[in-house]
Amino acid sequence: MRKIIIAGNWKMYKTQSEASEFLMEFIAQIDDAPEDREVVLCVPFTDLAIVSKSLHGNRIRLGAQNVHWEESGAFTGEISASMLTEVGVRYAIVGHSERRQYFGETDETVNLRLKAAQSSGLIPILCVGETKQQRDGGKTEQIIINQLDNGLVGVAQDKLVIAYEPIWAIGTGETCEAGEANRVIGVIRDRLTNPNVTIQYGGSVKPSNINEIMAQPHIDGVLVGGASLAASDFAGIVNYQ
């Protein structure tokens, strides 16, 4: 059975006080959300400890936005898996397009991060997706398949989430048409050995398009950036019918 996972990615937004304010509002609004879905918040490192405390005994799971492959060492600006698990983190986004684009993340470093996350008991959320130029050039499938084949070498597929995030749809308001997202996610599923991997869609998900996205047979959840920052918007997404 594939698990439904609705995850928010706060990126570099929210101080601790803003995070606490969000949670007070948000938790009250998802009280009646059906039990069939897991809710995850991937927050900045400085928010992890305080969010972890507020989530204690609650259904929301905590996520980070990156994880380094070494256990410790001289890696200024990085964070290890055990630093994350110690504060209650369960998930870690790996290979987000913003990491690939602005911070030189490659399929090889993505692969190292995925393996390190899994060996510490974290569930990585591997992001894959094509640029507008690659899509227009008819290269979408090839790009995605390369990202999967190189990223997943030696990675276990039983503790793994994949997010298909077409880069042109991230933060642009331009959502990938639900049927097309479903088609590409079908291509991803065909490439995996485990049929039960949760595969999310990400890119301008909002309360107004969540029902259509979640109605697609291959789509098992969403990774939400902008619309996860406002409690009422993210609750609207979590509470989809």
Residue with tokens 């609650």: 58
In angstroms, what is the minimal distance from the CB of 86 to ligand PGA?
25
The two tokens of residue 218 are 């291959």
Q: What is the CA radius of gyration of the chain?
A: 17
Closest to ligand PGA by CB, 152 or 213 = 213
Distances (CA, A) of 56 to 7, 27, 30, 51: 18, 12, 15, 9
Task: Round to the nearest angstrom and report the end-to-end CA distance of the chain.
Answer: 19
Alpha carbons within 13 A on the beta-carbon side of 26: 26
| Residues in region 87-126 near ligand PGA by CB under 6 A | none
Residue 202 in the binding site for ligand PGA (CB under 6 A): yes
Please pick, from the candidates 223, 235, 237, 238, the single residue that binds ligand PGA as defined by CB under 6 A. 223
Q: Does residue 68 carry a catalytic annotation?
A: no
Q: Does residue 165 carry a catalytic annotation?
A: yes
In angstroms, what is the minimal distance from the CB of 125 to ligand PGA?
9
The two tokens of residue 49 are 């400890």
Total number of residues that touch ligand PGA (CB under 6 A): 13
Residue 104 makes CB contacts below 8 A (sequence gap 6+) with: none
Closest to ligand PGA by CB, 8 or 140 = 8
List residues with catalytic annotation: 96, 165
Residues that bind ligand PGA (CB under 6 A): 9, 165, 170-171, 202-205, 223-227
